[in-house]
Amino acid sequence: MAATSSSPFFPLSTSPGNQNCYIPLIQCSSSSSSSSSSTDLRQKPQKHIVVCGGGIIGVCTAYFLAKKGVSVTLIEKASIACAASGKSGGFLALDWCDGGPLSSLARTSFNLHRSLSQELNGAELYGYRALTTLSLTVTESQNQNRIKKDLLPSWIDGPARAPRTIGSTETTAQVHPKLFTETVLSKAVEAYGVEVVIGKVERVEVAVAEEGGRVEAAVMVEGGRVIEADGVVLALGPWSGKFEMLREFFRIYGLKAHSVVFEPKDRDVVTLFELL
C-alpha cells in the first residue's frame, strides 16, 4: 500500500511570511498486483471512507454512506456545523431552481428533506416546518390604501406594498440548520456507527493500484494520527481550496455573508427568512 501509517509524509508547503498553509493531496500509483488486491478485498468486510468536513454536506454524506453499510470516519477541525452550515437561513424551496442546471438537485433535495423530517422527527428535533412564503416591499410611507390588508398576515403591521405569495406549504419549508446537522450526525453515530474525529486534516494521500485500479487512501490528522481508508470525501466548503491538487483543477473560494439573528416577541409567529 502506498499510503499507510509508515508512509513518508512531507511537511506542509509554506513560504516565509505567508500565512496560507496548503494541504498536500497526493495521488500516486501502487505496485501491488491485482491478485493480492483481490485477496485483500475479499478479506475486508466493508469499505472504509473518510469524510473531511463536519458541515451539512459532510455529515449527510457520512449518514447515507453508513446507512448503506459503509464504515465511515468523519473528521472536523473545530465543531459540527460551526461555519456556514450552522448559520444559514435553513430555507428550502422545491421549484425555485426550475429552468436552471440545479433544478433536479433542488427538487430531489427538497423531497429528501421532507422524508428525513419524518425519519428523524424533524419537526421536534430541528424545527422542520412547511411554510407559506411571501414577497413584499417595505416602505417608509404610511399610506396603506394602495394594498388590501387581507392580503397580509396579521403580524405584518408596518408599511408594506406589493405582497404576493411565492411559495406554499407544498413548495417551501425551513429547518434550523445547526440542529439539523447535529441531529443527522447523532443518528449516524448511534444507529450506524460513524466515528467522529475532531482534528485538523494535514495531509491526504491517494494510491491507485497499477493493476485492478484499487484505490487506497490515508489521511493524516494534526497530532500525527493516520487514518487509512478506501476513499476520501472532501466536504470542506471554501477550505477545500487549500488542497494543492484541487487548486490545479478547480477554482474554489468563499463568499462573505452576514448572519443576523432576531428574537421575536412571539417565537411561533415568523422568521425573517419567510419574507423574501
Residue 1: the pLDDT is 29
Give the per-residue pLDDT at 148: 57
Sign of the dihedral through C-alpha 139, 141, 142, 147: negative
Give one DSSP letter per residue of 88-136, joined into a string: S--EEESSTTTTSTTHHHHHHHHHHHHHHHHHTTHHHHS--EE--EEEE
Phi and psi at 63, nearest 5°, equal: -60, -50
Cβ neighbours, 10 Å, residue 54: 29
Q: What pLDDT sits at residue 12?
A: 31
Q: pTM of the predicted model, to two decimals?
A: 0.77
| Residue 272: C-alpha distances to residues 169, 198, 243 (Å) | 17, 33, 37
pLDDT score of 189: 98
Where does residue 152 rank: exposed (0-12), middle (13-18), buried (19+ CB within 10 A)? middle
Give the dihedral sign, CA 266/268/272/274: negative
Q: Domain 45-87+193-256 has what CATH class? A: alpha beta
Q: In the prediction, which pLDDT does 247 show?
A: 79
Predicted pLDDT at 168? 95
pLDDT of residue 42: 44
pLDDT tens for the chain, residues 1 to 276 = 233 333 333 333 333 333 334 455 555 544 443 444 434 444 555 899 999 999 999 999 999 999 999 999 999 999 999 999 998 889 999 999 999 999 999 999 999 999 999 999 999 999 999 999 988 887 766 555 555 566 677 777 777 777 888 999 999 999 999 999 999 999 999 999 999 999 999 999 888 877 777 778 999 999 999 999 999 999 999 888 888 778 778 888 888 887 777 776 766 655 545 544
Spatial distance between the Cα atoms of 146 and 160, rounded to a whole number of angstroms: 9
CA gap 74, 61 in Å, rounded: 10
